[in-house]
């Protein structure tokens, strides 16, 4: 039987530290995550300080790689990201990016 459980506080805290160390991140909501067997599944909502989707996507991909390097057994990371609107720093524009990692 395969049981699922929420990620422990220490792992969530390490993920927060990794994400917030990137200067392109304006706001972090989450992270949320679960364990399924030994594998970890992570979801994060971000508001990015950049105002270009290509730059935000590149930042999200780099953050995913850093999480993968810093947290063992990550199988899947889903990052929802929004851009800060040019006119109003508090009005985000939404985008979603997703990546799966296959562990060998």
Confidence of residue 38 (pLDDT cuts 50, 70, 90): confident
For 24, counting Cβ atoms within 10 Å of its Cβ (0-12 exposed, 13-18 middle, 19+ buried), the class is: middle
Q: Give me the residues paired with residue 25 across strands.
A: 48
For the sheet containing 74-84, what is the strand order? 4-6, 25-36, 39-48, 74-84, 92-100
- CATH number for the domain spanning 20: value is 3.30.70.1350
Q: Specify the pLDDT at position 85.
A: 65
The residues pairing with 84 across neighbouring beta strands, listed in sequence order, are 92
- Tell me if the bond preceding 31 is cis, omega within 30° of 0: yes
pLDDT in tens, 39-95: 999 999 999 998 889 999 999 999 999 999 999 999 999 999 999 766 545 545 455
The residue that leads in pLDDT, 82 or 4, is 82
| Number of domains within the chain | 1
Domain that holds residue 68: 4-100
């Amino acid at each position: 039987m395969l049981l699922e459980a929420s990620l422990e506080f220490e792992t969530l805290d390490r993920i927060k530290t990794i994400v917030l160390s990137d200067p392109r991140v304006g706001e972090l909501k989450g992270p949320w995550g679960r364990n399924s067997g030994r594998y970890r599944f992570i979801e994060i909502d971000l508001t990015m300080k950049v105002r270009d989707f290509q730059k935000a996507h590149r930042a999200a991909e780099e953050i995913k790689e850093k999480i993968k390097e810093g947290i063992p057994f990550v199988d899947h990371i889903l990052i929802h990201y929004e851009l800060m609107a040019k006119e109003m720093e508090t009005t985000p524009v939404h985008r979603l990016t997703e990546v799966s990692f296959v562990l060998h």
